[in-house]
Amino acid sequence: MHIWPFRKRPQEVDFESQRELAEMENSTREVRVKVDQFTALLAELTEKKRGQNDR
C-alpha cells in the first residue's frame, strides 16, 4: 500500500476527476480564445462602420 506524503483521503486523489477537470480547463481556454477573436473582429467591424459614417 502506498502512503501519500501529504494527508489526503483516497477519494480526493481521483485521477478520473483530475482528467475531467483538465478537459474542462482546456475547453474554457478554447472558449476564451474564441471570445477574444470574436471581440477583436467585432471591434474591427465597428471601426470600419465608423469610418464609413464619417464620409
Q: State whether the Cα torsion 26-29-35-41 is positive or negative.
A: negative
Question: 41 or 15: whose pLDDT is higher?
Answer: 41
Contact 4, 13 (CB under 8 A): yes
Q: How far apart are the first and last CA of the chain?
A: 77
pLDDT, residue 28, reads 96
pLDDT, residue 18, reads 86
pLDDT, residue 17, reads 85
Determine the Cα–Cα distance for residues 23 and 29; give it in Å rounded to an integer.
10
pLDDT, residue 32, reads 96
Residues contacting 13, CB < 8 A, separation 6+: 4
